[in-house]
Structure 1
Amino acid sequence: MKKQNLLGAICLSLAASIWGGMYVVSKYVLDFIPPLTLVWLRYIIAYVLLFVILKVVQRKNKKTEVIKKKDWLLIVWIGFIGYFVSVSCQFIGTKLSDAHTGSLITSATPTFMVIFAWLLLKEKLTIRKVISMLLATIGVVTVIGWDSNLGTYMLGSIILVGAAITWALLSVYAKIASSRLSSLLVTTYGLLFAIIFTTPAMMWELQTHNIYYNSILIILGVVYLGVVSTAGAFYLWNKGMELMDAGIGSLFFFFQPIVGSFLGWLLLNEKLSSNFFIGGMLILVGVVIATFQKEFNQSIQFKKTSANKRV
Protein backbone atom coordinates (compact mmCIF):
# COMPACT_ATOMS: atom_id res chain seq x y z
CA MET A 1 0.00 0.00 0.00
CA LYS A 2 1.28 3.45 -0.88
CA LYS A 3 2.25 5.71 2.01
CA GLN A 4 -0.41 8.26 1.02
CA ASN A 5 -3.16 5.63 0.95
CA LEU A 6 -1.97 4.20 4.27
CA LEU A 7 -2.13 7.61 5.95
CA GLY A 8 -5.56 8.23 4.43
CA ALA A 9 -6.80 4.85 5.67
CA ILE A 10 -5.55 5.62 9.18
CA CYS A 11 -7.25 9.05 9.20
CA LEU A 12 -10.57 7.68 7.96
CA SER A 13 -10.47 4.70 10.35
CA LEU A 14 -9.81 6.99 13.32
CA ALA A 15 -12.58 9.42 12.32
CA ALA A 16 -15.19 6.67 11.88
CA SER A 17 -14.10 4.99 15.11
CA ILE A 18 -14.39 8.26 17.03
CA TRP A 19 -17.93 8.75 15.69
CA GLY A 20 -18.76 5.19 16.70
CA GLY A 21 -17.58 5.94 20.24
CA MET A 22 -19.45 9.25 20.27
CA TYR A 23 -22.67 7.29 20.76
CA VAL A 24 -21.72 6.42 24.33
CA VAL A 25 -20.95 10.02 25.34
CA SER A 26 -23.81 11.69 23.47
CA LYS A 27 -26.31 9.17 24.87
CA TYR A 28 -25.50 10.54 28.34
CA VAL A 29 -25.18 14.26 27.48
CA LEU A 30 -28.44 14.39 25.46
CA ASP A 31 -30.38 13.64 28.64
CA PHE A 32 -29.40 17.14 29.84
CA ILE A 33 -28.84 19.23 26.69
CA PRO A 34 -31.24 19.30 23.66
CA PRO A 35 -29.77 18.03 20.37
CA LEU A 36 -29.42 21.17 18.23
CA THR A 37 -28.01 23.08 21.20
CA LEU A 38 -25.48 20.31 21.73
CA VAL A 39 -24.51 20.50 18.06
CA TRP A 40 -24.00 24.27 18.42
CA LEU A 41 -21.85 23.85 21.54
CA ARG A 42 -19.78 21.16 19.80
CA TYR A 43 -19.17 23.45 16.85
CA ILE A 44 -18.22 26.45 18.98
CA ILE A 45 -15.61 24.44 20.89
CA ALA A 46 -14.30 22.76 17.74
CA TYR A 47 -14.06 26.03 15.79
CA VAL A 48 -12.15 27.88 18.52
CA LEU A 49 -9.68 25.00 18.86
CA LEU A 50 -9.13 24.56 15.11
CA PHE A 51 -8.87 28.33 14.53
CA VAL A 52 -6.07 28.60 17.11
CA ILE A 53 -4.28 25.61 15.56
CA LEU A 54 -4.71 27.08 12.07
CA LYS A 55 -3.17 30.41 13.10
CA VAL A 56 -0.27 28.67 14.85
CA VAL A 57 0.43 26.58 11.75
CA GLN A 58 0.24 29.61 9.47
CA ARG A 59 2.59 31.60 11.71
CA LYS A 60 5.01 28.68 11.89
CA ASN A 61 5.02 28.27 8.11
CA LYS A 62 5.02 32.06 7.62
CA LYS A 63 2.36 31.60 4.98
CA THR A 64 -1.34 32.45 4.81
CA GLU A 65 -3.46 30.65 2.27
CA VAL A 66 -5.30 32.85 -0.21
CA ILE A 67 -8.98 31.93 -0.36
CA LYS A 68 -10.60 32.88 -3.66
CA LYS A 69 -14.27 33.77 -4.02
CA LYS A 70 -15.18 30.39 -5.52
CA ASP A 71 -13.39 28.67 -2.63
CA TRP A 72 -15.35 30.71 -0.08
CA LEU A 73 -18.57 29.62 -1.79
CA LEU A 74 -17.42 26.00 -1.62
CA ILE A 75 -16.60 26.28 2.09
CA VAL A 76 -19.99 27.89 2.79
CA TRP A 77 -21.63 25.01 0.91
CA ILE A 78 -19.67 22.45 2.98
CA GLY A 79 -20.70 24.15 6.22
CA PHE A 80 -24.33 24.26 5.13
CA ILE A 81 -24.94 20.93 3.41
CA GLY A 82 -22.68 18.83 5.62
CA TYR A 83 -22.21 20.27 9.09
CA PHE A 84 -25.66 21.89 9.33
CA VAL A 85 -28.18 20.04 7.14
CA SER A 86 -26.74 16.53 7.42
CA VAL A 87 -26.15 16.53 11.17
CA SER A 88 -29.52 18.20 11.84
CA CYS A 89 -31.30 15.63 9.65
CA GLN A 90 -29.57 12.84 11.52
CA PHE A 91 -30.77 14.17 14.89
CA ILE A 92 -34.32 14.95 13.71
CA GLY A 93 -34.67 11.70 11.75
CA THR A 94 -33.49 9.61 14.69
CA LYS A 95 -35.89 11.45 17.00
CA LEU A 96 -38.81 10.69 14.65
CA SER A 97 -37.80 7.03 14.41
CA ASP A 98 -35.20 5.46 16.69
CA ALA A 99 -31.43 5.04 17.00
CA HIS A 100 -31.52 1.60 15.37
CA THR A 101 -33.28 2.92 12.26
CA GLY A 102 -30.89 5.86 12.16
CA SER A 103 -27.84 3.60 12.23
CA LEU A 104 -29.26 1.35 9.52
CA ILE A 105 -30.24 4.08 7.06
CA THR A 106 -27.19 6.33 7.52
CA SER A 107 -25.01 3.29 6.79
CA ALA A 108 -26.07 3.87 3.17
CA THR A 109 -23.79 6.95 3.12
CA PRO A 110 -20.82 5.18 1.46
CA THR A 111 -23.03 4.04 -1.41
CA PHE A 112 -24.05 7.63 -2.11
CA MET A 113 -20.40 8.68 -1.82
CA VAL A 114 -19.37 6.23 -4.53
CA ILE A 115 -22.14 7.57 -6.79
CA PHE A 116 -21.25 11.23 -6.18
CA ALA A 117 -17.53 10.50 -6.64
CA TRP A 118 -18.40 8.97 -10.01
CA LEU A 119 -20.62 11.91 -11.02
CA LEU A 120 -18.63 14.85 -9.59
CA LEU A 121 -15.03 13.60 -9.42
CA LYS A 122 -15.19 11.29 -12.45
CA GLU A 123 -13.79 8.41 -10.38
CA LYS A 124 -14.18 5.04 -12.09
CA LEU A 125 -17.02 2.84 -10.85
CA THR A 126 -15.08 -0.43 -10.89
CA ILE A 127 -16.26 -3.96 -10.15
CA ARG A 128 -13.84 -3.99 -7.23
CA LYS A 129 -15.58 -1.00 -5.63
CA VAL A 130 -19.03 -2.49 -6.20
CA ILE A 131 -18.08 -5.84 -4.66
CA SER A 132 -16.42 -4.13 -1.69
CA MET A 133 -19.47 -1.93 -1.16
CA LEU A 134 -21.86 -4.91 -1.29
CA LEU A 135 -19.80 -6.92 1.20
CA ALA A 136 -19.50 -4.00 3.63
CA THR A 137 -23.20 -3.12 3.32
CA ILE A 138 -24.23 -6.71 4.03
CA GLY A 139 -21.86 -6.61 6.98
CA VAL A 140 -23.48 -3.47 8.42
CA VAL A 141 -26.98 -4.91 8.04
CA THR A 142 -25.74 -8.10 9.74
CA VAL A 143 -24.27 -6.15 12.68
CA ILE A 144 -27.22 -3.81 13.18
CA GLY A 145 -29.94 -6.21 12.08
CA TRP A 146 -32.90 -5.49 9.82
CA ASP A 147 -35.73 -3.82 11.70
CA SER A 148 -39.18 -4.97 10.60
CA ASN A 149 -40.58 -1.64 11.88
CA LEU A 150 -38.45 0.36 9.45
CA GLY A 151 -41.41 1.17 7.24
CA THR A 152 -43.48 2.53 10.13
CA TYR A 153 -41.12 5.49 10.56
CA MET A 154 -41.81 6.93 7.11
CA LEU A 155 -41.07 10.62 7.79
CA GLY A 156 -38.08 9.86 10.01
CA SER A 157 -36.71 7.40 7.45
CA ILE A 158 -36.98 9.97 4.63
CA ILE A 159 -35.13 12.57 6.71
CA LEU A 160 -32.43 10.01 7.57
CA VAL A 161 -31.96 9.25 3.88
CA GLY A 162 -31.45 12.99 3.46
CA ALA A 163 -28.77 12.85 6.17
CA ALA A 164 -26.95 10.06 4.34
CA ILE A 165 -27.09 11.86 0.98
CA THR A 166 -25.92 15.22 2.35
CA TRP A 167 -23.00 13.69 4.31
CA ALA A 168 -21.92 11.92 1.12
CA LEU A 169 -22.05 15.27 -0.68
CA LEU A 170 -20.01 16.86 2.10
CA SER A 171 -17.29 14.22 1.78
CA VAL A 172 -16.99 14.68 -1.99
CA TYR A 173 -17.01 18.48 -1.87
CA ALA A 174 -14.50 18.44 1.01
CA LYS A 175 -12.19 16.44 -1.26
CA ILE A 176 -12.66 19.03 -4.01
CA ALA A 177 -11.90 21.89 -1.59
CA SER A 178 -8.86 20.09 -0.14
CA SER A 179 -7.32 19.90 -3.61
CA ARG A 180 -6.95 23.68 -3.50
CA LEU A 181 -6.78 24.45 0.23
CA SER A 182 -5.51 22.66 3.35
CA SER A 183 -7.90 20.27 5.09
CA LEU A 184 -7.36 22.22 8.31
CA LEU A 185 -8.54 25.47 6.74
CA VAL A 186 -11.54 23.83 5.03
CA THR A 187 -12.64 22.16 8.27
CA THR A 188 -12.15 25.29 10.38
CA TYR A 189 -14.10 27.70 8.21
CA GLY A 190 -16.67 25.06 7.31
CA LEU A 191 -17.45 24.86 11.03
CA LEU A 192 -17.64 28.66 11.26
CA PHE A 193 -20.41 28.78 8.67
CA ALA A 194 -22.09 25.78 10.30
CA ILE A 195 -22.27 27.79 13.53
CA ILE A 196 -23.92 30.67 11.65
CA PHE A 197 -26.53 28.33 10.16
CA THR A 198 -27.11 26.42 13.42
CA THR A 199 -27.51 29.46 15.69
CA PRO A 200 -31.14 30.33 14.73
CA ALA A 201 -32.20 26.69 15.17
CA MET A 202 -30.45 26.55 18.54
CA MET A 203 -32.14 29.76 19.75
CA TRP A 204 -35.54 28.42 18.66
CA GLU A 205 -34.91 25.13 20.48
CA LEU A 206 -33.95 26.87 23.74
CA GLN A 207 -37.37 28.53 23.88
CA THR A 208 -38.92 25.18 24.75
CA HIS A 209 -35.99 23.27 26.28
CA ASN A 210 -33.72 23.83 29.24
CA ILE A 211 -29.99 23.13 29.58
CA TYR A 212 -28.65 21.33 32.63
CA TYR A 213 -24.91 21.67 33.20
CA ASN A 214 -24.65 21.26 36.97
CA SER A 215 -22.40 18.21 36.68
CA ILE A 216 -18.72 18.00 35.77
CA LEU A 217 -19.53 14.88 33.73
CA ILE A 218 -21.90 16.87 31.50
CA ILE A 219 -19.27 19.57 30.94
CA LEU A 220 -16.55 17.01 30.21
CA GLY A 221 -18.91 15.23 27.83
CA VAL A 222 -19.57 18.44 25.87
CA VAL A 223 -15.84 19.23 25.75
CA TYR A 224 -15.08 15.72 24.51
CA LEU A 225 -17.74 15.99 21.79
CA GLY A 226 -16.35 19.35 20.70
CA VAL A 227 -12.63 18.57 20.81
CA VAL A 228 -12.45 14.90 19.83
CA SER A 229 -15.70 14.00 18.04
CA THR A 230 -15.97 17.26 16.09
CA ALA A 231 -12.63 19.07 15.70
CA GLY A 232 -10.54 15.90 15.60
CA ALA A 233 -12.86 13.59 13.69
CA PHE A 234 -14.04 16.18 11.13
CA TYR A 235 -10.43 17.10 10.32
CA LEU A 236 -9.33 13.45 10.10
CA TRP A 237 -12.24 12.62 7.79
CA ASN A 238 -11.53 15.55 5.45
CA LYS A 239 -7.80 14.76 5.47
CA GLY A 240 -8.44 11.10 4.74
CA MET A 241 -10.76 11.96 1.85
CA GLU A 242 -8.04 14.26 0.50
CA LEU A 243 -5.52 11.41 0.44
CA MET A 244 -7.69 8.63 -1.02
CA ASP A 245 -10.22 8.07 -3.79
CA ALA A 246 -13.61 9.07 -2.41
CA GLY A 247 -15.13 5.77 -3.53
CA ILE A 248 -12.58 3.71 -1.61
CA GLY A 249 -12.40 6.07 1.36
CA SER A 250 -16.16 5.86 1.80
CA LEU A 251 -15.86 2.24 2.98
CA PHE A 252 -14.15 3.32 6.19
CA PHE A 253 -17.45 4.91 7.26
CA PHE A 254 -18.59 1.35 8.01
CA PHE A 255 -16.24 1.19 11.01
CA GLN A 256 -18.63 3.53 12.85
CA PRO A 257 -21.34 0.94 13.73
CA ILE A 258 -18.67 -1.66 14.56
CA VAL A 259 -16.96 0.56 17.14
CA GLY A 260 -20.31 1.85 18.42
CA SER A 261 -21.57 -1.69 19.00
CA PHE A 262 -18.33 -2.76 20.66
CA LEU A 263 -18.23 0.21 23.05
CA GLY A 264 -21.93 -0.26 23.80
CA TRP A 265 -21.05 -3.80 24.91
CA LEU A 266 -17.95 -2.67 26.82
CA LEU A 267 -19.37 0.37 28.62
CA LEU A 268 -23.17 0.09 28.52
CA ASN A 269 -23.55 -3.67 29.04
CA GLU A 270 -25.26 -4.09 25.67
CA LYS A 271 -25.18 -7.60 24.23
CA LEU A 272 -23.10 -8.68 21.25
CA SER A 273 -24.39 -11.58 19.18
CA SER A 274 -22.58 -13.69 16.62
CA ASN A 275 -23.94 -11.29 13.99
CA PHE A 276 -21.51 -8.65 15.26
CA PHE A 277 -18.48 -10.80 14.47
CA ILE A 278 -19.83 -12.09 11.14
CA GLY A 279 -20.80 -8.61 9.99
CA GLY A 280 -17.54 -7.12 11.24
CA MET A 281 -15.57 -9.67 9.22
CA LEU A 282 -17.56 -8.88 6.07
CA ILE A 283 -16.89 -5.14 6.52
CA LEU A 284 -13.18 -5.78 7.06
CA VAL A 285 -12.96 -7.98 3.96
CA GLY A 286 -14.73 -5.32 1.89
CA VAL A 287 -12.31 -2.63 3.07
CA VAL A 288 -9.26 -4.83 2.45
CA ILE A 289 -10.39 -5.69 -1.09
CA ALA A 290 -10.98 -2.04 -1.96
CA THR A 291 -7.80 -0.73 -0.34
CA PHE A 292 -5.22 -3.38 -1.15
CA GLN A 293 -6.39 -5.05 -4.36
CA LYS A 294 -5.14 -2.25 -6.60
CA GLU A 295 -1.64 -2.41 -5.15
CA PHE A 296 -1.74 -6.21 -5.33
CA ASN A 297 -2.60 -6.12 -9.04
CA GLN A 298 0.15 -3.58 -9.70
CA SER A 299 2.63 -5.84 -7.90
CA ILE A 300 1.64 -8.82 -10.09
CA GLN A 301 1.92 -6.69 -13.23
CA PHE A 302 5.38 -5.51 -12.17
CA LYS A 303 6.56 -9.08 -11.61
CA LYS A 304 5.24 -10.15 -15.03
CA THR A 305 7.02 -7.22 -16.69
CA SER A 306 10.27 -8.03 -14.91
CA ALA A 307 10.00 -11.67 -15.92
CA ASN A 308 9.41 -10.75 -19.58
CA LYS A 309 12.47 -8.51 -19.57
CA ARG A 310 14.64 -11.33 -18.24
CA VAL A 311 13.36 -13.65 -20.98
Structure 2
Amino acid sequence: MKFSMNPVQTGSLCAIFAAFLFSTKAIFIKQAYALSPLVDATTLMVLRMGSALPFFILICWLNRHHNQDIRIKDWLILVFAGLLGYYFASWLDFVGLMFISASLERIILFLYPTLTVLASSLIYRQKLNAKTWFAIFLSYGGTVLVMLQEGKIAPSQGNLWIGCSAVFASAIAFAAYLLLTPHLIKKFGSWNFNGLAL
Protein backbone atom coordinates (compact mmCIF):
# COMPACT_ATOMS: atom_id res chain seq x y z
CA MET A 1 0.00 0.00 0.00
CA LYS A 2 1.48 3.29 -1.10
CA PHE A 3 1.38 6.18 1.39
CA SER A 4 0.90 9.66 0.00
CA MET A 5 -0.19 13.00 1.40
CA ASN A 6 -2.18 15.72 -0.29
CA PRO A 7 -0.91 19.33 -0.24
CA VAL A 8 -3.16 20.25 2.73
CA GLN A 9 -1.77 17.39 4.86
CA THR A 10 1.81 18.23 3.85
CA GLY A 11 1.27 21.90 4.63
CA SER A 12 -0.33 21.07 8.00
CA LEU A 13 2.60 18.84 8.99
CA CYS A 14 5.09 21.55 7.96
CA ALA A 15 3.15 24.12 10.01
CA ILE A 16 3.13 21.84 13.10
CA PHE A 17 6.87 21.17 12.79
CA ALA A 18 7.54 24.91 12.29
CA ALA A 19 5.47 25.75 15.40
CA PHE A 20 7.48 23.18 17.40
CA LEU A 21 10.79 24.69 16.27
CA PHE A 22 9.43 28.21 16.81
CA SER A 23 8.55 27.20 20.39
CA THR A 24 12.06 26.00 21.22
CA LYS A 25 13.64 29.35 20.23
CA ALA A 26 12.78 31.01 23.56
CA ILE A 27 14.49 28.23 25.54
CA PHE A 28 17.77 28.75 23.67
CA ILE A 29 17.56 32.54 24.06
CA LYS A 30 16.99 32.28 27.83
CA GLN A 31 19.93 29.85 28.02
CA ALA A 32 22.15 32.32 26.15
CA TYR A 33 21.18 35.11 28.58
CA ALA A 34 21.89 32.83 31.57
CA LEU A 35 25.31 31.78 30.23
CA SER A 36 26.43 35.33 29.43
CA PRO A 37 24.78 38.12 31.48
CA LEU A 38 26.57 40.79 29.38
CA VAL A 39 24.76 39.70 26.18
CA ASP A 40 21.81 41.91 25.25
CA ALA A 41 19.03 41.47 22.67
CA THR A 42 20.85 43.33 19.88
CA THR A 43 24.09 41.35 20.29
CA LEU A 44 22.18 38.08 20.30
CA MET A 45 20.27 39.14 17.17
CA VAL A 46 23.52 39.95 15.34
CA LEU A 47 25.01 36.57 16.30
CA ARG A 48 21.85 34.75 15.25
CA MET A 49 21.46 36.51 11.91
CA GLY A 50 25.17 36.44 11.12
CA SER A 51 25.42 32.69 11.69
CA ALA A 52 22.29 32.06 9.57
CA LEU A 53 23.24 34.39 6.69
CA PRO A 54 25.18 31.77 4.63
CA PHE A 55 22.11 29.49 4.67
CA PHE A 56 19.83 32.32 3.50
CA ILE A 57 22.23 33.15 0.67
CA LEU A 58 22.32 29.47 -0.34
CA ILE A 59 18.49 29.29 -0.33
CA CYS A 60 18.31 32.38 -2.56
CA TRP A 61 20.97 31.03 -4.93
CA LEU A 62 19.33 27.61 -5.30
CA ASN A 63 15.85 29.08 -5.79
CA ARG A 64 16.62 32.13 -7.91
CA HIS A 65 14.36 32.84 -10.84
CA HIS A 66 13.73 35.78 -13.11
CA ASN A 67 10.11 36.83 -13.04
CA GLN A 68 9.26 39.79 -15.24
CA ASP A 69 6.19 40.58 -13.10
CA ILE A 70 8.28 41.59 -10.07
CA ARG A 71 8.32 45.37 -9.76
CA ILE A 72 10.26 47.77 -7.53
CA LYS A 73 7.14 48.07 -5.36
CA ASP A 74 7.26 44.29 -4.72
CA TRP A 75 10.94 44.52 -3.72
CA LEU A 76 10.18 47.39 -1.33
CA ILE A 77 7.32 45.46 0.29
CA LEU A 78 9.60 42.40 0.58
CA VAL A 79 12.31 44.46 2.33
CA PHE A 80 9.70 45.99 4.65
CA ALA A 81 8.20 42.55 5.41
CA GLY A 82 11.66 41.12 6.13
CA LEU A 83 12.55 43.97 8.49
CA LEU A 84 9.16 43.77 10.21
CA GLY A 85 8.79 40.01 10.54
CA TYR A 86 12.35 38.79 10.86
CA TYR A 87 14.19 41.67 12.49
CA PHE A 88 11.84 43.96 14.42
CA ALA A 89 9.53 41.19 15.69
CA SER A 90 12.52 39.03 16.69
CA TRP A 91 14.30 41.92 18.39
CA LEU A 92 11.20 42.79 20.46
CA ASP A 93 10.88 39.11 21.38
CA PHE A 94 14.53 38.96 22.46
CA VAL A 95 14.07 42.12 24.56
CA GLY A 96 10.99 40.66 26.22
CA LEU A 97 12.86 37.47 27.11
CA MET A 98 15.31 39.54 29.15
CA PHE A 99 12.45 40.18 31.61
CA ILE A 100 10.01 37.24 31.51
CA SER A 101 10.15 33.45 31.42
CA ALA A 102 10.26 31.45 28.20
CA SER A 103 6.90 29.81 29.01
CA LEU A 104 5.09 33.17 29.43
CA GLU A 105 6.82 34.53 26.31
CA ARG A 106 5.55 31.58 24.25
CA ILE A 107 1.97 32.06 25.45
CA ILE A 108 1.98 35.78 24.62
CA LEU A 109 3.77 35.37 21.28
CA PHE A 110 1.37 32.64 20.18
CA LEU A 111 -1.45 35.19 20.33
CA TYR A 112 -0.33 36.29 16.86
CA PRO A 113 -2.91 34.06 15.08
CA THR A 114 -5.71 35.86 16.95
CA LEU A 115 -4.25 39.20 15.85
CA THR A 116 -4.07 37.97 12.25
CA VAL A 117 -7.72 36.83 12.40
CA LEU A 118 -8.86 40.16 13.89
CA ALA A 119 -6.86 42.21 11.37
CA SER A 120 -8.10 40.08 8.45
CA SER A 121 -11.70 40.54 9.56
CA LEU A 122 -11.20 44.32 9.61
CA ILE A 123 -9.32 44.50 6.30
CA TYR A 124 -11.63 42.14 4.38
CA ARG A 125 -14.77 43.14 6.35
CA GLN A 126 -15.57 39.58 7.32
CA LYS A 127 -17.81 39.01 10.31
CA LEU A 128 -16.38 36.68 12.95
CA ASN A 129 -18.66 33.93 14.26
CA ALA A 130 -19.33 33.13 17.92
CA LYS A 131 -16.86 30.19 17.97
CA THR A 132 -14.03 32.45 16.78
CA TRP A 133 -14.82 35.11 19.40
CA PHE A 134 -14.98 32.41 22.09
CA ALA A 135 -11.58 31.04 21.03
CA ILE A 136 -10.08 34.55 21.10
CA PHE A 137 -11.59 35.19 24.54
CA LEU A 138 -10.12 31.92 25.85
CA SER A 139 -6.69 32.76 24.40
CA TYR A 140 -6.50 36.19 26.04
CA GLY A 141 -8.18 35.05 29.27
CA GLY A 142 -5.65 32.22 29.68
CA THR A 143 -2.77 34.58 28.92
CA VAL A 144 -3.93 37.05 31.60
CA LEU A 145 -4.19 34.23 34.16
CA VAL A 146 -0.62 33.07 33.42
CA MET A 147 0.63 36.69 33.61
CA LEU A 148 -1.03 37.15 37.03
CA GLN A 149 0.53 33.91 38.25
CA GLU A 150 3.98 34.93 37.03
CA GLY A 151 3.47 38.37 38.59
CA LYS A 152 3.23 36.73 42.01
CA ILE A 153 6.64 35.10 41.66
CA ALA A 154 8.39 37.76 39.53
CA PRO A 155 11.00 39.85 41.40
CA SER A 156 9.90 43.08 39.72
CA GLN A 157 6.41 43.93 38.48
CA GLY A 158 7.85 46.68 36.26
CA ASN A 159 10.09 44.21 34.47
CA LEU A 160 7.17 41.83 34.00
CA TRP A 161 5.11 44.49 32.20
CA ILE A 162 8.08 45.61 30.09
CA GLY A 163 8.70 42.02 29.03
CA CYS A 164 5.03 41.26 28.33
CA SER A 165 4.59 44.50 26.36
CA ALA A 166 7.70 43.86 24.23
CA VAL A 167 6.60 40.30 23.40
CA PHE A 168 3.03 41.39 22.61
CA ALA A 169 4.43 44.10 20.30
CA SER A 170 6.48 41.33 18.67
CA ALA A 171 3.28 39.32 18.13
CA ILE A 172 1.65 42.37 16.50
CA ALA A 173 4.66 42.85 14.20
CA PHE A 174 4.66 39.16 13.25
CA ALA A 175 0.90 39.20 12.56
CA ALA A 176 1.39 42.23 10.28
CA TYR A 177 4.20 40.36 8.51
CA LEU A 178 1.89 37.38 7.90
CA LEU A 179 -0.71 39.67 6.33
CA LEU A 180 1.93 40.93 3.87
CA THR A 181 3.30 37.53 2.83
CA PRO A 182 0.62 35.87 0.61
CA HIS A 183 1.06 38.41 -2.21
CA LEU A 184 4.87 38.24 -1.94
CA ILE A 185 4.97 34.42 -1.94
CA LYS A 186 2.94 34.39 -5.16
CA LYS A 187 5.37 36.87 -6.74
CA PHE A 188 8.71 35.45 -5.56
CA GLY A 189 7.89 31.81 -4.76
CA SER A 190 7.94 30.48 -1.17
CA TRP A 191 11.61 29.41 -0.99
CA ASN A 192 12.91 32.49 -2.75
CA PHE A 193 10.73 34.81 -0.68
CA ASN A 194 11.90 33.30 2.60
CA GLY A 195 15.56 33.43 1.63
CA LEU A 196 15.31 37.06 0.47
CA ALA A 197 13.19 38.27 3.39
CA LEU A 198 15.42 36.56 5.93
TM-score, normalising length: structure 2: 0.74
Which residue number corresponds to residue 194 of structure 2?
187
Structure 1: gaps of 5 or more residues: 192-311
Kindly state the Cα deviation for residue 158 of structure 1 after the two structures are TM-superposed.
2.4
Q: Residue type matched to 1:45 in 2?
A: S
Shift in alpha-carbon separation, 1:179–1:122, aligned structure 2, 3 A: farther
Determine which of 83, 86, 98 is the counterpart of 2:86. 83
Is the contact made by 1:101 and 1:147 (CA closer than 8 Å) also made in structure 2?
no
- Is it true that 1:39 corresponds to 2:45 in the alignment? yes
Deviation at 1:114, TM superposition (A): 0.7
Aligned residue runs from structure 1 range 123-272, under 5 A: 125-133=128-136, 137=139, 141=143, 146-147=148-149, 149=151, 152=158, 153-191=160-198
Look up the match of 1:49: 55
Q: Is the 8 A contact 2:108 2:168 kept in 1?
A: yes
User: Residue 227 of structure 1 corresponds to which residue in structure 2?
Assistant: none
2:73 pairs, out of 44, 66, 70, with 70
Structure with max Cα Rg: 1
Unmatched runs of 5 consecutive residues or more in structure 2 = none
- 2-structure distance, mates of 1:142, 1:162: 16
- 2:115–2:175 Cα contact (<8 Å) kept: yes
Deviations 1:87-121 (A, max 9, x none): 11112123244444423322321110111222345
1:146-177 deviations in Å (ceiling 9; x for gaps): 52528653333322221111111111212231
Distance 2:184 2:150 in 1: 40
Quote the Cα distance in structure 2 between the aligned partners of 1:47 and 1:127. 44
Q: Please point out which of 2, 7, 29 is paired with 1:4.
A: 7
Residue 71 (structure 1) shift: 0.9
Q: State whether residues 109 and 168 of structure 2, in contact with CA within 8 Å, keep that contact through their aligned partners in structure 1.
A: yes
The separation in 1 between residues aligned to 2:61 and 2:120, in whole angstroms, is 32
User: RMSD across aligned C-alpha pairs, in angstroms?
Assistant: 3.2
Q: Separation in 1 of the partners of 2:11 and 2:141?
A: 22
With over 3 angstroms needed to count, the CA separation of the structure-2 counterparts of 1:49 and 1:91, relative to structure 1, is same
Please tell me whether the aligned partners of residues 117 and 123 of structure 1 are also in contact (alpha carbons under 8 angstroms).
yes
CA contact (8 A) 2:59 2:195 kept: no
| 1:16 shift after superposition | 0.8
Q: Distance in 1 between matches of 2:55 and 2:171?
A: 27
Q: Would you say how many aligned residue pairs link Structure 1 and Structure 2?
A: 185
Aligned equivalents of 1:12 and 1:117: distance in 2? 20
Report Cα offsets for 1:68-87 as digits up to 9, x if no partner.
Answer: 11111111111221112111
Q: Is structure 2 residue 27 aligned with structure 1 residue 20?
A: no
Match status 1:103 vs 2:106: yes
Give 1:141 shift. 4.5
What is the Cα deviation at residue 17 of structure 1? Answer: 0.3
SS of 1:125's equivalent in the other structure is coil
Answer yes or no: is the 8 Å Cα contact 2:26–2:106 preserved in 1.
Answer: no
Structure 2 counterpart of 1:29: 32
Q: 2-side partners of 1:5 and 1:124: how far apart?
A: 25
